[in-house]
C-alpha cells in the first residue's frame, strides 16, 4: 500500500469504529426516565437475586437457577455506572457524592462486581458447588464494599 493512502485508511478505520460504539450494550434511559428510580429498581432486583442465590447455596444446593441469576447480575453491574449520570445525585437517593467525584473508582468497583457475578455464573453452570460458593462470597463482599463506600446508610 502506498504510504500516501495510510492516513486515509486509518481515518476510515477510526470512523468505522466510532460509528459502531453506540451499538454496544448498556442501559439506555428513555427520554425523561428517572435514573434514580431506574437504578433503585435494578439494585433491588440484584438484592433479590443475591438472596435467592444465597438460599440455593446454603440450603438446597440446587444450582439450576443460580447461573441465570448471576448472569443477569453480571450484565446489570457492567452497565451500572450509566445509571449514575451527572445530575442524578438529587432527590430520593442514597448515592454519596463520591460516586461522581471519584468516578473511576466507582466504575472499577462495578466492573469488579460484574466479574465476580460472571465467575459465579460460570461455576454454577458447570455444577461446581464449591466454586459457586467461593464466587458468591467474593460477589457479596464486592457488593458490601461498594455500599460502604458509595451509599449513605
pLDDT (tens digit, 9 = 90+) per residue, 54-104? 999 999 888 989 999 999 999 999 999 999 999 999 989 999 999 999 999
Tell me, yes or no, whether 17 lies in a domain: no
Cell of 146: 461498594
Looking at residue 34, its pLDDT comes to 92
Residue 2: pLDDT band (50, 70, 90) is low
The confidence score (pLDDT) of residue 11 equals 44
CB neighbours of 29 closer than 8 A, spacing ≥ 6? 35, 38, 82, 83, 85
Determine the average pLDDT of the residues in 120-147. Answer: 97
Tell if the pTM clears 0.85, that is, is over it: no
Question: In the chain, how many domains are there?
Answer: 1
Q: Using CA atoms, how far apart are residues 125 and 26, in angstroms rounded to an integer?
A: 24
Give per-residue pLDDT as tens, 12-29. Answer: 444 443 333 343 444 555
The answer as to whether 109 is a domain residue is: yes
Q: Which residues are annotated as a binding site for heme c?
A: 143, 146-147
Question: Where in the sequence is the domain holding 77, given as residue range(s)?
Answer: 34-82+93-150
Question: What's the CATH code of the domain at 97?
Answer: 1.20.120.10
Point out the annotated binding site.
143, 146-147
Percent pLDDT > 90 in the chain is: 75
Phi-psi region of 27 (alpha: psi -120 to 50; beta: other; left: phi over 0): beta
Amino acid at each position: 500500500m502506498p504510504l500516501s493512502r495510510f492516513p486515509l485508511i486509518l481515518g476510515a478505520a477510526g470512523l468505522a469504529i466510532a460509528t459502531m460504539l453506540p451499538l454496544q450494550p448498556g442501559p439506555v434511559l428513555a427520554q425523561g426516565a428517572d435514573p434514580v428510580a431506574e437504578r433503585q429498581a435494578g439494585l433491588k432486583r440484584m438484592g433479590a437475586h443475591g438472596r435467592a442465590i444465597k438460599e440455593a447455596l446454603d440450603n438446597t444446593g440446587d444450582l439450576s437457577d443460580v447461573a441465570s441469576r448471576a448472569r443477569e447480575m453480571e450484565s446489570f453491574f457492567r452497565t451500572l455506572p450509566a445509571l449514575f449520570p451527572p445530575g442524578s445525585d438529587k432527590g430520593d437517593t442514597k448515592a454519596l457524592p463520591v460516586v461522581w467525584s471519584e468516578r473511576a473508582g466507582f466504575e472499577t468497583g462495578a466492573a469488579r462486581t460484574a466479574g465476580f457475578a460472571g465467575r459465579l455464573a460460570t461455576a454454577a453452570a458447570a455444577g461446581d458447588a464449591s466454586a459457586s460458593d467461593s464466587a458468591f462470597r467474593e460477589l457479596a463482599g464486592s457488593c458490601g464494599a461498594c455500599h460502604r463506600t458509595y451509599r449513605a446508610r
